[in-house]
Amino acid sequence: MLIKLNNIIIFSLVAFFISWILYPLYIRLLKKYKMGKTIREVAVTGEESTIFSQMHEHKKGTPTMGGGIFLLIMALMIAASFLLQKYGIINNSLVTRTETYVLLFGFFSMGLIGLLDDRLNIKWHGKIKWLSARTKMIWMVIFAGFISRWFFSKLWVDYINFWPIAGKIHLGIFYPIITFFITISIVHAINITDGLDGLAWGLMTIILFVLGVITFFNSTFIATTVIGIIIASLVAFMFYNINPAKIFMWDSGAFALGGLLAPLLYMLNMRMGILIPFIILFALFIIDVASSLLQIIWKKYFKKKLFAISPLHHLFEHRGVSETTIVMKARFIQGILAAVTIIILFYQLNGVLLP
C-alpha cells in the first residue's frame, strides 16, 4: 500500500508542477488569439440577461478554456504511465479496464464537448454561437449512454446501494436509464455552478479528495491516481482563477469534471453504499442547479421569475454579497459536508452501523 501511495503522490506532484508551469504560457496564448470571455446575453428563462451583464461586465475578455489544461495534463500523465510500464518501473498504466477505462472515457468525452463549445463561444461562425443546445445534448446523450451501458452490459451492474437507508435495490433495465439521467444532471450541475471565480473548482477539489480517500481504502489505487492528477491540476488552476481571475475553467473543465464524477459514483456504488453519502457531499451543486430549475419552471407556468436572477450564487451576488465571500463560505460549507461524508463512509468501511 505504501508503494501505491508513493505512486499516487509522485504522479500528482508531477501533474501539479507541469500544470503550474503551463498555465502562464496557456494564458498568454489565449490572450494573443483573443480567446476571452463573452458576457451572457440571455438568461436561462429566455429574456435578456441585464442583471448578469451588469455584474460581470468587468470580466469581459478574460481568457477561458482553462479546462483544456486538465485534458492535456491527463493525456501527458497517461502517456508517461505507458512508458513507465514499458520499462518496468510501474506495474500498470493509468488505463485499466477494471478501474479507470470508463472514468477516463467520461472525462475526455465530456471535456472535448466542452472544449469545442468554449471555442465556438469565442470564435463563432455566422449566426452560430456556442454549440447549439440540441447538438450538445445529442453528444452528451451518446457519451452518457455509453457510460451507463458499460456498467450495465460490461460490468453486469443493475443495482443501487441505498445504504444506510436500505441495501442494494436491483433495478434491472431501469439501471442504465437512471444512471444516464444522473450523468447528464451531474455534468450540468457542475457547469451551472461554475459562475464565480474559484467556486466550482474549489468545491470539486474537496469532493474529489473525499472520493479519492474512499477509492484508496477500497484498494482501487489506479483510480485514486487519476483523481490525484485531477486534484493537482485543479490546485494549479487555483493560482490563476482566484478573484480576480486570470483565466476561467468554463465548459471544457466543468464538463470534464462531471464526466469523471458520474462514473466514479457508479464505480463506488459497485463496492459500497455511496449514493446517500454522495447526495450529502454534492448538496451545494444540487441546491444551485435546483434554483435554476425552479426559475425555469416558475417562469414557464406562472409567467414571472421566482428569483431576480439564478442560480443561487448569482442571486447572493445580486443582493450585495461579494464574490469572494460567497466562494469562501461555500468552501467552508463544503468542508463540513465532506467531513460528514467521510465519517459516514468510514463507518461503513469498518462495518459499523450507524445508530
HEC assignment per residue over the chain: CHHHHHHHHHHHHHHHHHHHHHHHHHHHHHHHCCCECCCCCECCCCCECHHHHHHHHHHCCCECCCHHHHHHHHHHHHHHHHHHHHCCCCCCCCCCCCCCHHHHHHHHHHHHHHHHHHHHHHCCECCECCCCHHHHHHHHHHHHHHHHHHHHHHCCCCEEECCCCCCEEECCCHHHHHHHHHHHHHHHHHHHHCCCCCHHHHHHHHHHHHHHHHHHHCCCHHHHHHHHHHHHHHHHHHHHHCCCCCCCCHHHHHHHHHHHHHHHHHHHHHHCCCHHHHHHHCHHHHHHHHHHHHHHHHHHHHCCCCCCCCCHHHHHHHCCCCHHHHHHHHHHHHHHHHHHHHHHHHHHHCCCCCC
Instruction: List % helix, strand, coil for the chain (3-state, nearest 5).
Output: 70, 5, 25
pLDDT at 125 over 90: no
Say whether pLDDT at 267 is over 80.
yes
pTM: 0.90
Statement: residue 54 has pLDDT above 80: no
Query: Is 242 inside any structural domain?
Result: yes
> What is the sign, positive or negative, of the torsion defined by CA atoms of 61, 67, 70, 75?
negative
Residue-level pLDDT at 241: 84
Mean pLDDT value across residues 239-265:
91
According to DSSP, residue 160 is labeled: E
Total of domains in the chain: 1
91 located within any domain = yes
Distance CA 175, CA 249 (A): 32
Provide the pLDDT for residue 55: 59
> Between these two residues, 318 and 113, which has the higher pLDDT value?
113
Least confident of 78-82, 111-115, 165-169: 165-169
Strands 168-170 and 159-161: antiparallel
- Using the predicted structure, report yes or no on whether residue 210 has a pLDDT greater than 60: yes
- For range 336-344, the mean pLDDT: 94
pLDDT at residue 58, rounded to an integer: 56
Return the bridge partners of 48, or none: 42
Is residue 88's pLDDT more than 60? yes
Query: Is 317 inside a domain boundary?
Result: no
- Rounded to whole angstroms, the Cα distance separating 140 from 291 reads 22
- For the cut 90, the answer to whether the pLDDT of residue 43 exceeds it is no
Residue 36 banded pLDDT, cuts 50, 70, 90: low
Q: What is the mean pLDDT of the chain?
A: 87
Q: How far apart are CA 54 and CA 92, in angstroms?
A: 51
- Domain with 134 in it: 2-160+170-273
pLDDT value at residue 75: 97
Query: Mean pLDDT, to the nearest integer, of 41-49?
Result: 52
Per the model's pLDDT, the better-predicted residue between 33 and 75 turns out to be 75
- Measured CA to CA, the distance from residue 225 to residue 207 in angstroms comes to 15
pLDDT band at 211 (very low <50, low <70, confident <90, very high): very high
User: Residue 304 to residues 212, 287, 294: CA-CA distances in angstroms?
Assistant: 43, 21, 11
What's residue 38's pLDDT? 60
> Mean pLDDT over residues 161-178, rounded?
90
DSSP category for residue 100: T
Region of residue 190 (left: phi > 0; alpha: psi -120 to 50; beta: else): alpha
- Residue 315 included in any domain: no
Count the Cβ atoms, other than its own, within 10 Å of residue 134. Answer: 7
Residue 228 has pLDDT above 90, yes or no: yes
In a domain, residue 133? The reply is yes
Query: Is residue 306 over pLDDT 60?
Result: yes
- What confidence score (pLDDT) does residue 78 get? 97
> Is 52 domain-assigned?
yes
Question: What are the pLDDT digits (tens) for 129-162?
Answer: 556 778 888 999 999 999 999 999 988 999 998 8
Answer whether residue 16 is part of any domain: yes
Q: Where does residue 306 rank: exposed (0-12), middle (13-18), buried (19+ CB within 10 A)?
A: middle
C-alpha grid cell for residue 310? 439564478
pLDDT for residue 195:
84
